[in-house]
Amino acid sequence: MDPVQEIDELKARRICEGCVEEHYLRTEIRRDGRDDRCSYCDRRGKTYSMNKMAERIEEAFSDHYLRTEEPDFWDGERAGERAGDPVIWAIAGAAHISEQAAEDVQLILEDKHDDFESAQMGDETEFSRGPTMKRPAQRAEACLD
Ligand SMILES: [Zn+2]
């Protein structure tokens, strides 16, 4: 499949409140979500598109994770101790969503950041997979320039 089409397909997926265990996000989906069928559990209910979900997770990472608990969370050296891919694990852990949904979010964010960052910097963004993931703080500082 064309990778662009594939990302568009991922963005159009729906995720329901039942598949998001993080309290704040779940409450938000219940309040603002649209009635639809969930792409992950196949039940009908209030849902967000994965595009919206990816945006919310990106915001959470830039606003929240910079200065809260678990400073080791983003430490690439520790990534090997975790099961699975560290970025996907971080996304799944932040939103309390399944690894499958987290992988979709990761792909959407990686694609988005590839568009406007990698072109300039010529390397990975913090949403790229792999152990050389950067801390989101570096991106925040870069944006202040
Ligand atoms: Zn669901």
pLDDT tens-place string over residues 28-76:
999 999 999 999 999 999 999 999 999 999 988 776 554 334 444 454 4
Assign 136 a pLDDT band (cuts: 50, 70, 90).
very low
Contact between 61 and 93 (Cβ < 8 Å): no
CB-based contacts of 12: which residues, under 8 Å, 6+ apart?
A: 49, 50, 51
Tens of pLDDT, residues 108-134: 999 998 766 555 655 566 677 654 444
Give helix 3-12 / helix 99-113 axis angle, nearest 10°. 130
pTM over 0.85: no
User: In the sheet where 34-37 sits, what is the strand order?
Assistant: 14-16, 44-49, 34-37
Ligand 1 geometric centre to CA of 30 (Å)? 12
Q: Which residues pair with 16 in a beta bridge?
A: 47
Residues with CB under 5 A from ligand 1 (ion): 16, 18-19, 38, 40-41
66 CA from centroid of ligand 1 (Å) = 29
